Structure 1
Amino acid sequence: MLYETRTAHVRTSPLRHAFRHRGYLWLVDLDRIPRLPWPLGALASFRPRDHHLHDGEGNVTIRQDLQDYLAARGVHLGRGQVLMLTQARSLGYVFNPLTVYWCRDGAGRPLCTVAEVHNTYGGRHRYLLRPDTEGRAGTPKEFHVSPFFPVDGGYRMSLPEPGEHLRLAVHLERPGGRVFTATVRGTAHPASPATLLRAALRHPFATQAVSLHIRYQGIRLWLRGLPVHPRPVPDTARPSAGHPVPEEEVPSA
């Protein structure tokens, strides 16, 4: 399934800053990951190393890596289904600020949700969530993403499993109140070659555009005098040379 998306960001403290951008996301079953024929494969591929917490070493699939992550935390996926919402690697590049996994047990019952956050320094981190029936959950912030926020406070997330429509929201709450909100809205389309071509023509270089947009917004905030919080040392992010500062906590999903 493909979702043409509209992402909105609103920062409220210590200064107000808002913007929107458009793109598209894939929803795929980890047991049936699309493998598109050439030349469409250049527009969309799903590589384990783009999601593994440890650089995708060996032949471990995305599903096996996620399953190992869950098992280490006492969650046993077994033969349950996992749906992954993400950007595909396109034209040799991918950047996923947020990938979401909806996990069900072997009987088809909701088991958990995993929010996988990437930063522009090359790091990634997973949050294991136990949402309520509306897809809402909270978790402490544990990972450095934006240089304009320290690693404190917590997230309130609304990540209901998508159907015809996609409606996600992530709020960052710090002492004193809510300081940042990101929302993603989208409409589902069958993932056919024609749909992919239309989406790629409407949003050319979509994943590159997200990365560039993050940097552009970060420069704007820095020029407005917003203080920068250095990365914690040691940092969980892998070094990535030449990356300027990102703009926000969850720039796109």
Structure 2
Amino acid sequence: MTRARLVHTVIRHTRLEPVRHAFRYRSYSWLVDLDELPAPPWWLRPFADFRTRDHLGDPHATLRGNVEAYLADHDIDLRGGKILMLGNARVLGYVFDPLTVFWCHDATGALRCVVAEVHNTYGQRHRYLIPAAVTAVADKQFYVSPFNPVAGRYRLRLPAPAERLRLAIELEGPDGRVMFCASVSGRVVAAKPLTVVRAACAHPLETWRITVRIRWQGLRLWARGLPVVPRPAVRRRSSCSLEALS
């Protein structure tokens, strides 16, 4: 299936404020080159379906075309360089992908920037443009958890994966205290048909299960008395500036 890869992931979430709440689960994601999306045999296509409309941009364009158009709005030209995407594929017609990451390289192969596309359970999406740095800081501009206001800032570590994937995100409140942190780590393997079958069997209906997990953890927090923060009106902009840290 071209040079697509799977990542067998362990996802960890820890809420520190105002109550402590932590959980972890195993899953899998796809790591694909946008110029060479998976072409699985017909019997695997229901478990490896990538569609442009599942992401920001023109639903009738290509995924690569939409990422390039977004970068052009920020005066970034990759000149044909490679774009790697970490995300979920549709499983039996459904996908929910809390975080899609695009590593954008220029024609020399150097990492130029990273695009982090965040999806919430209300059908909304938002992109953060991240410089090619070890760590970056971004003002929070998008409503994700119903228990967190759209305030504070993210501290992100999103290095391009090789044999392993290691991503980490912290949310700092307006007072600078860390409220929440999440990490995704895992082993990267070739997406051979048998590997995809094993992943689908080990995590049946995984994209459906991700949504259920998120809602279940939300119910647990609500039952503990955590107040719900009203969802603000939709913002038109889908990007924000980030500060690179050395």
TM-score (norm 2): 0.91
- Which residue pairs with 1:92 in the alignment? 93
The aligned amino acid for 1:175 is P
Deviations, residues 50-94 of structure 1 (Å, cap 9, x unaligned): 11345x1x2x00000010001011111220100000011111110
- Runs of 5+ unmatched residues, structure 1: 238-253
Q: Note the C-alpha offset of 1:234.
A: 4.0
1:71-150 matches, within 5 Å, as 71-132=72-133, 134=134, 136-150=135-149
Aligned equivalent of 1:28, options 32, 37, 49: 32
Task: Confirm or deny that 1:9 pairs with 2:13.
Answer: yes
CA displacement at 1:211 relative to structure 2: 0.6
- How far is 1:175 from its partner? 2.4
Residue 48 of structure 2 corresponds to residue 44 of structure 1: yes
The one-letter code of the counterpart of 2:200 is: A
Aligned residue for 1:163? 162
SS of match in other structure, 1:41? helix
Q: Letter of the aligned partner of 2:74 in structure 1?
A: R
Paired with 2:57 and 2:223, the residues of 1 have a C-alpha distance of 33
The amino acid that maps onto 2:121 is: T
What secondary structure is seen at the aligned counterpart in 1 of 2:27? strand
1:172–1:122 CA distance, 2 compared to 1 (3 A) = same
* Pairing 1:172–2:163 present: no
Could you list the per-position Cα deviations for residues 118-153 of structure 1 after superposition, in whole angstroms to 9, with x for gaps in the alignment? 000000010000032x3x211111111111011011
What code does the residue aligned with 1:45 have?
D
Q: Quick check: 2:111–2:132 contact (8 Å CA) kept in 1?
A: no
Q: Distance in 2 between matches of 1:29 and 1:212?
A: 29
| Structure 2 CA distance for partners of 1:16 and 1:109, relative to 1, 3 Å | same
Deviation at 1:207, TM superposition (A): 0.9
- Corresponding residue of 1:219: 219
Count of matched residue pairs: 232
State the distance in 2 between where 1:131 and 1:112 align: 5
Preserved contact between residue 35 and residue 45 of structure 1 (Cα < 8 Å): no
AA at the equivalent of 1:47: R
State the AA in 1 paired with 2:195: T
SS of match in other structure, 1:39: helix
Q: Tell me the secondary structure at the aligned position of residue 226 of structure 1.
A: coil
So what's the TM-score if we normalise by structure 1? Answer: 0.89
The answer to whether the 8 A contact 1:143-1:236 is kept is no
- Identical-pair percentage: 51
Q: Distance in 1 between matches of 2:99 and 2:108?
A: 27
**CA-CA distance at 1:235 after TM superposition:** 5.0
Over the residues paired in the alignment, what is the CA RMSD in angstroms? Answer: 1.3
Task: Provide the rounded CA distance (Å) in 2 between the counterparts of 1:227 and 1:147.
Answer: 9
The residue number in structure 2 matching 1:184 is 184
Query: Tell me, what secondary structure is at the counterpart of 1:10?
Result: strand
Gaps of 5+ in 2: 238-246
